[in-house]
Amino acid sequence: MNKNDHEHRGFMLDVCRHFMPLDEIKKLLQAAAVLKLNRMHWHLTDDQGWRIEIRKYPLLTEKGAVRGDSFFGGTPEAERNSGYYTQEEIRDLVAYAKSLGIEIIPEIEIPGHAAAMLAAYPQFGCRRGKTGKWEEKVEISGGIFPALVCAGKEETLGFLEDILDEVTELFPFPAVHIGGDEALKFRWRRCPDCQRRIREKGLQSEDDLQRDLLMEVGEYLAGKGRKTIVWNDVLAGGPLPAHFIVQQWMGGRQETLAFMQSGGTVIRSDTDSFYLDYCYGRIDVRRIHETPRIPEYAVGLENRILGVECPLWTERIASLERAAWQLFPRLTAVSVKMSGEELPWETFREKVKALEEEREAITGLKGAPEELWDMDPDAAKADRQAEIQTIFSGKAEAYERKEREIVSLDAAERLAESLGIDRDFVQKGGDSVWAEIHGQEEPEDDNGAGILIRQLMIAADSRQYGAWKDIPEEIWMDTMKCFSRFISEHRRSYGRDGFDRYGWTTRQIGAKLFRIGELEYELTEDKEGRKEIGLHIPSDAKLEAERMNASLENADAFIRERFPEWAGAPKTCESWLLSPALKDLLPEGSRILRFQEAFELEEIYPEDDAALEWVFYVAEGQRKELDISRLPEDTSLQRKMKAMIMKGGKPGAGKGILLQKANNTF
């Protein structure tokens, strides 16, 4: 990298998942010097190991730096699991790096990725309710875990400040990285101390609480003349002041853009271009060549980009040889790409090759062979598939799946709360799923809360990776609000929160039913396999012509764009709202009767009693022992329908096809 082009030219080395001896790190620093890099970000603490001696807290290395056999998949599971660096060794490495023109940035990860820290000092973790405790241990597999330092205990801040006092004595670089990524808030939601701090400080969420804690740590570091580096996840809690530097790795690019617009500075580490632990089938030299020098989120704000840093996470890297194979020639390619000169592919490749030959001659470290520099699509796909098989190989598979369920559980709780579902009910469901994941005794009756969370886990995963991924946010949220609506309807009928519509909501989580404005649209087929669109009327829909016509117009546009095979398919509706019996119960010109006029009635179901739920709030499970005489008579429709039922009649239902007109169907 051209020294005048980027202030920050570096790589990150994770030594927590697999420990790396000092002499091997020095080899990597030699290689970095050949490439004119000037930063090594040293990831020293994580769930799987604490690697830095802190003299005031010796248990951090006595307990936190030691673990048994590990299950990351595809690597020797009994090697390099334990170890740490003494303060003398750290000073030696810092001096050695400086002699090469490289400065070392330490990372002490908080509030998440703290399992090793809390295994040593569990008193700085959260309480589990008023009296319970969480199991604290050094993790032996990869992934994201719920162990967070407690943000509600006053003594936590003192503990962190003591650690940072020793860290800043060892590392002269004018910034310290404190992490902030992938902090699952599962424990914070249940911690009385964290919840008290949220209330006392007038915070709105656990994301705000994370920002608040890291702001305090950042202020402490600022008092020592240091800036604070954090992963971009922290911006979810709100903006950060100028003495923070954000490292952009994944997602949250709008928040990162806003941070830069306010004067903040950013280090680029985008996963899709610079994560060098990924296989070559995901990121090869050709892809690096095609990566824009200025990312889309920074166009016009180039001066706010400090530079590029390439992370090397070591879950499946247990030797110097493997580290070199992953790093080179891709780190070399990044150094050429960011040097300021746009080169055609062949010229770029030759320049990388020449620099690689120089680097290998000096260090002896061998990189990946040239056939991996520009992989054809089939080979790249096979490489990606092999990577996935490696991650889920052997005993690692069970650990990996369990960890992913925990991440999905946290996402489901977040989603549930964003939908306005009561927190106590959400946590009841979360606790049921947590017990199931960990093979613990589950609550006897959670009133459907566990099933709710399981379905929201599927929905959240689909939003990130599956059928819901590219659906507009408004449609996504409006559709998912069916869950809060159904819980509210259950409360209205039974007097308590509950969820019993899980058979119906498979449509929503499967991206087969969408709420667009007032109405819902289900992509389905008739008995002969012909495409049709089921029209559903949510209980909170306003049957106003203008609103429903707008819904139809927007739905047609959405379906044409996203599901063209359903474009023009007939729209059918099966509902108590189409019952002919309503004509004797409602005044002429009522909204329900005008709604009926938009349909050609195909079938009538005179014995259907679904209207009891929507008119009288009597759920299906309550109808067997229903005392009709006690039905409410608060509205005209209730009075007339009750009288009809008392005489032996039933409200019925109907099915019809929408007579969609050019304008104003309703």
Rounded CA-CA distance 8/13 in Å is 15
Cβ partners under 8 Å of residue 38, min gap 6: 3, 8, 9, 10, 101, 102, 103
The active-site residue, picked from 46, 103, 136, 207, is 46
Question: Computed from CA positions of residues 394, 249, 326, 39, in that sequence, does the dihedral angle turn out positive or negative?
Answer: negative
Say how far apart CA 637 and CA 97 lie, in whole Å: 81
- What is the C-alpha to C-alpha distance for residues 397 and 401, in angstroms, rounded to an integer? 6
Sheet containing strand 531-536, edge to edge, reads 513-516, 519-525, 531-536, 571-575, 653-658, 599-605
Query: Helices (DSSP H) in 281-329: which residue ranges?
Result: 285-290, 320-327
Q: Which residues contact 351 (CB under 8 A, 6 or more apart)?
A: 336, 343
DSSP assignment of 395-458: THHHHHHHHHHHHHHHHHHHHHHHTT--HHHHHHHHHHHHHHHTTPPPPS--TTHHHHHHHHHH
* Strands, E assignment, 33-152: 39-43, 45-46, 49-50, 103-110
Kindly report the length of the chain.
666
- Which is it for strands 45-46 and 571-575: parallel, antiparallel or unpaired? unpaired
Neighbouring CB atoms inside 10 A of 602's CB total: 13
Q: Is 520 a catalytic residue?
A: no
| Annotation marks residue 18 as catalytic | no
- Which candidate in 77, 107, 139, 182 is catalytic? 182
User: What is the rounded distance in angstroms from the CA atom of residue 144 to the CA atom of residue 138?
Assistant: 13
**Most distant pair of Cα atoms in the chain: their distance:** 97
Tell me which amino acid residue 662 is. A
431 counts as catalytic: no
Q: What is the C-alpha to C-alpha distance for residues 288 and 192, in angstroms, rounded to an integer?
A: 47
Q: If you ran DSSP here, which 8-state letter would residue 126 be given?
A: -
Q: Which residues, in sequence order, are CB contacts of 111 under 8 Å at separation 6+?
A: 148, 149, 151, 180, 183, 210, 213, 214
Q: Measuring CA to CA, which residue among 479, 449, 439 is closest to residue 462?
A: 479
Measured distance CA(561)–CA(14) in Å, rounded: 44
Task: List all residues 6 or more positions away from 261 whose beta carbon is below 8 Å from its beta carbon.
Answer: 301
The residue annotated as part of the active site, out of 18, 113, 177, 490, is 113
* 81 close to 142: Cβ distance less than 8 angstroms: no
Q: At what angle do helices 449-465 and 482-494 cross, to 10 degrees?
A: 170
| Residues identified as active-site | 46, 113, 182
